[in-house]
Amino acid sequence: MHKVAITKKVYAHFWRVSRPSFLENDLEGNANLYALLASGFPADRSQIAIETPDQNYSWNDIEQMSARLANLLLALDLPSGARVAVQVEKSPTALMLYLATVRAGLVYLPLNTAYKAAEVEYFLTDAEPSVVVCDSRNLEWITQLADKTGTAHVYTLDDDGSGSLAVAAASQGDQFESVPRQTDDLAAILYTSGTTGRSKGAMLTHGNLSSNAQVLHRYWGWRADDVLLHMLPIFHVHGLFVASHGALLAGARMIWLPKLNIDQAIHYLPLSTIMMGVPTYYVRLLADQRFNREVCRNIRLFISGSAPLLKETFNAFVERSGHTILERYGMSETIMLTSNPYDPAVGQRIGGTVGQALPGVSVRVVDDAAAPLAPGQVGNVQVRGPNVFKGYWRMPEKTREEFTQDGWFRTGDVGQWGGDGVPDNYLTIVGRSKDLIISGGYNVYPKEIELVIDEMPGVDESAVIGVPHPEFGEAVVAVVVPRAGHTIDIKSLEAALKSRLANFKIPKRIHVVDQLVRNTMGKVQKNVLREQYKDL
């Protein structure tokens, strides 16, 4: 328990003096996340809140458009705790649909836009949403799945804000009082792929999301005059919660781009004060000769997450831009856990580390017997705090497995405190105890891909691994063993995988071998495979 004690001691004073006022007055007893976020909106709600290349949206627009959508959802007479599944392209209206779901006291279920029919069918079957919102291009197959899984309401929403959802909401009132919620009530379910091939729905409460938003608001020094360059997708924690909540709670403007586009990034960076991205974004900025100190002259903070940031990228960015990227660490189940400091008085930003435990969050590194390890020793990372999720949707046994008897969540990551030249209260993630691959900021679980490959004609077995990649952090590689007397056509296998899996899960290389390397117990030695193919 030595390390936890140190972490709490370091932050005791900071946490006391920086507690947001929301914690003190509880907004008159309503713990609805939207009530917290709206408390940060500026008094003049005619100001621009979201700027896109084509249109601007004011704070009034956010209030009124989300109110219309919330009124529509309540008019459907949905059961308490009903889920709203959303698989749409990024747009300001999509963000307002999320806010409307929260305002209405319902549960938001974002789905990666790359998911194919087989994947979406699982989510609809498991979560049993009452409403599904999709891109109009996918309406036909989504409607078929909705009929099959019992989803009662299907709407469309396209990236320009059009669709049947907008038509239905237009007749609704533009005033809405947020439905009262307790801190322990569900606000969102985020599905994370499982090492067994079955995805798990992480249940996040209003209290989880609110506590983390407030901590990051203080810790990263959010200001009302900030301008966030938002290029992240909004179907996962980074773009939907960390970035959007930060700007909304601060009453700060967002420059809203559908995705990373280097030309647009170079254009908007001089107009921004904060940028968040996955490491791939920073690699691509460095690859463009137009990116220099002048371009980011008004930026006060670059933040990286969702995948490990290579030390060479960290150093090259300092040299080129004069800015030190702030790297942080979080999960779908916990939102943010640690961060390199924004305030130099708290500490410096150290490349290769994910910084210190955030205020109110406890982090420990333990051995397999749960004994705390000294700085410099590598072990299992476990966490607890108000940001840690409620459990896995309809998986009580899995939930119990992932928490220790004394209430710590087992992250599945391997790390260490301190190390050579690193303060003892800085965490470094050195690996993953599970087979998780993080490619371009997306989580890829090998077992899910292996199950699909093994079903293919002529395949005996397979092993999927992650290997180093200069841009994506890790690349997915499949090693496939054919059945006796069969030949594997790699191009046909790739085409079959693309029809069933999201693009980020598709192996960038497929190798056909006679057999997989195993240990004496018969277990495939993926560490050997990773070493063998590390230079791809």
**Alpha-carbon distances of 114 from 21, 120, 279, rounded to whole Å:** 40, 10, 20
Q: How far apart are CA 516 and CA 525, in angstroms?
A: 8
- How far are the Cα atoms of 7, 210, 397 from residue 393, in angstroms, in the given order? 31, 20, 11
| pLDDT value at residue 107 | 98
What is the pLDDT at residue 487? 94
Contacts (Cβ under 8 Å, ≥6 apart) of 291: 266, 285, 320, 321
Of 240, 226, 88, 221, nearest to 165 by C-alpha is 88
* pLDDT band per the 50, 70, 90 thresholds, residue 434: low
HSE of 237, CA atoms in CB hemisphere, 13 A: 30
The pair of structure tokens assigned to 195 is 């090492």
Element holding 494 (H helix, E strand):
helix 490-498
Nearest to 446 by CA among 523, 506, 361: 506
Q: Which residues contact 350 (CB under 8 A, 6 or more apart)?
A: 340, 422, 423, 426
On the question of pLDDT at 498 being above 50, the answer is yes
SS3 letters for 111-132?
CCCCCCHHHHHHHHHHHCCCEE
pLDDT, residue 189, reads: 98
Between the alpha carbon of residue 178 and those of residues 107, 279, 437, 496, the distances in Å are 14, 37, 39, 46
The pLDDT value recorded for residue 436 is 80
**pLDDT value at residue 2:** 33
* Better-predicted residue by pLDDT, 404 or 306: 404
pLDDT over 60 at 10, yes or no = no
pLDDT given at position 198: 75
Domains of the chain: 437-532 (3.30.300.30)
Report the alpha-carbon distance of residue 209 to residue 75 in Å, rounded: 26
pLDDT computed for residue 197 by the predictor: 56
Pairwise pLDDT comparison (280 vs 327), residue with the higher score: 327
- In this predicted structure, the answer to whether residue 343 has a pLDDT above a threshold of 90 is yes
At residue 534, φ and ψ (nearest 5 deg) are -65, -25
When pLDDT is cut at 50, 70 and 90, the band that residue 444 belongs to is confident
How many other CB atoms are found less than 10 A from the CB of residue 153?
18
- What percent of the chain lies above the pLDDT cut of 70? 93
pLDDT tens by residue, 156-204: 999 999 999 999 999 999 999 999 999 999 999 999 865 445 789 999 9
pLDDT recorded at residue 527: 85
Q: CA 115, CA 40: separation in Å to the nearest integer?
A: 34
What pTM did the predictor assign? Answer: 0.85
pLDDT tens profile 203-260: 999 999 999 999 999 999 999 999 999 999 999 999 999 999 999 999 999 999 999 9
